[in-house]
Amino acid sequence: MRHFICILLIFGFSFTAFCQDDFYIRLSDAALNLTKDEVTYDPNYFRIPYPNGDVPKDKGVCTDVIIRAYRSLGIDLQMLVHVDMKANFPKYPKKWGLKHTDTNIDHRRVPNLMVYFRRKGQVKPITDNASDYHAGDIVCWDLGGGVTHIGLVVNRKIKGTSRLLIVHNIGGGQVLSDCLFLFKIIGHYRYK
CB-based contacts of 75, cutoff 8 Å, min separation 6: none
What domains does the chain contain, in order, with CATH numbers?
Answer: 2-190 (3.90.1720.10)
At 3, is the secondary structure helix, strand, or coil?
helix
| Position 6 confidence tier, pLDDT thresholds 50, 70, 90 | very low
> What pLDDT, in 10s, does the model give residues 21-42?
899 999 999 999 999 999 999 9
Give the H or E element holding residue 50: none
Task: List pLDDT tens digits, range 114-131.
Answer: 999 999 999 999 999 999
Q: What is the pLDDT of residue 142?
A: 98
The pLDDT tens digits of the residues spanning 105-117 come to 999 999 999 999 9
Instruction: Return the number of other C-beta atoms located less than 10 Å from residue 181's C-beta.
Output: 14
Reported in sequence order, the residue ranges of the chain that DSSP labels E, i.e. its strands, are: 40-41, 59-60, 122-123, 138-144, 147-157, 164-168, 175-177, 184-190
Per-residue pLDDT tens over the stretch 149-176: 999 999 999 999 989 999 999 999 999 9
Angle at 191 between CA 189 and CA 192, to 5 degrees: 165
- DSSP characters for 126-141? --S-GGG--TT-EEEE
| Distance separating alpha carbons of residues 108 and 50, to the nearest angstrom | 13
Q: What is the pLDDT of residue 98?
A: 86
